[in-house]
Amino acid sequence: MKRKKPVGEELESFCLLWDKSSREGKDSVATNFGATYGTACNWRSQAAAEHPFSALKPNVSTLAKRSGETNAPLRLDTSTDMQTIAVINDTHNPYQDIVALTLAEKLLQEVQPAVLVYAGDVNDFYQISSFDKDPTRISQMQQDVDTVKDMFDRHNEQLPDTRKILLGGTHEDRLQRFLWSKAPALSSLECLTIHELYGLKERVIEYVPPECGLMVNNIFLIIHGDLVSANASYTAKRMFDKHGGCGMHGHTHRLGSYYKRNRFGVWGWWENGCLCDLNPDWVKHPDWQHGFSLVHFVKSRFYVEQIPIVDNKLLYGGKVYSV
């Protein structure tokens, strides 16, 4: 016999339990009330529409927040031994520069860093941008997503013992902004999240929402960033003004650094270049540079090695890398 929708106090109790439960927890709530998950979803929607009093309205605080709204970074504490964190960003697949990315991968295979941080914009999400678009590219989003998954799979083979962390960037946020503004009815689908599109769980890659960042040893913030200035290093200075402390960011597609000494010590911020095509079809002759960084940590100290890639070559440790 089909379970009838609860009423009165039982309905209020059901709604309160439902709103504070995770997706998995909602399955248990539905079972406890003798219903399927789908039926329970309908009960909750009907209750919100039929009863204006607050207890049966959806609890806004439990709804999914916009990426980065909490502004809380993932915290990482390295051991007392030296550990190296590699930072790459702005590959903008499928517009990654194959040579630049391959050179970075060759060096990382030799270094075998403890952590690899993808500091945002690993996919361009061209099809849902607000810019004018080539109509022949509109139907290729799945192929674009697949190039990101292929890159992650390749890095898991090349760096089997390296912890991998993906930081959301402005182009990852582009997906959520598109869903919220153009397709709100689809915005709650788990299959359309960054986690599911890239298969992050099965690939053992952690995800941090846009503009939350990764805080290492409470002294160094790695974040994608949302500022762009006219010249290299200008944005690094603005990131220091905005966040303070020390850190590294992407977004500008430039290499640069800014140092500041005051009564509290010496601080630095670094712009981390990019690994995407330097000649895209939507901007002419951009002032961008290929590159990435290795950041070495020992307790409360760190050392940044920026590695520029120029003319399809990089130099590291007295060795020239080319493809």
* 198-214 pLDDT tens trace: 999 999 999 999 999 99
Angle between helix 8-20 and helix 23-32 axes, rounded to 10 deg: 160
pLDDT attached to residue 198: 95
* This prediction's pTM: 0.79
Banded pLDDT at 232 (limits 50, 70, 90):
very high
Q: Please, are residues 114 and 297 in contact by the beta-carbon 8 Å criterion?
A: no
For residue 64, the number of C-alpha atoms closer than 13 Å in the C-beta half-sphere is: 14
Using omega within 30 degrees of 0 as the cis cutoff, is the peptide bond preceding 94 cis?
A: yes
106-125 burial by CB neighbour count: b if 16+ within 10 A, else e? Answer: bbbeebebbbbbbbbbbbbb
Residue 66 has pLDDT above 60, yes or no: no
Angle between helix 37-50 and helix 8-20 axes, rounded to 10 deg: 110
**Mean model confidence pLDDT for the chain:** 88
